[in-house]
Homo-oligomer: A and B are copies of this chain.
Amino acid sequence: MRESDVRGHLDGLVLAALAVGAAHGYEIIQRIRDRSVGAFDLAEGSVYPVLHRLEASGALTARWEAVNGRRRKVYEITQPGRTQLTSERTRWRDLRTSMDRALGGATA
A residues contacting B by CB (< 8 A) are 1-2, 4-9, 12-13, 16-17, 19, 32, 35-37, 39-40, 85-86, 88-89, 91-105, 107
Q: Verify B1–A98 contact, CB threshold 8 A.
A: yes
Give the residue of B19, B92, B94, B100 whose beta carbon is less than 8 angstroms from that of A99. B92
Q: Which residue of B lies closest to A89 (CB)?
A: B105
Could you list 14 A-B pairs, sorted by A, with CB under 8 Å?
Answer: A2-B8, A2-B91, A13-B99, A13-B102, A13-B103, A16-B104, A16-B105, A35-B101, A35-B102, A37-B98, A39-B94, A39-B102, A89-B103, A92-B103
Chain A binding site: helix, strand, loop or mixed by DSSP? helix
Q: A1-B94, A39-B94 are in contact. Are A16 and B89 (CB under 8 A)?
A: no
Residues of B within 8 A of A105 (CB): 16, 19, 85-86, 89
Residues of B within 8 A of A92 (CB): 99, 103, 107
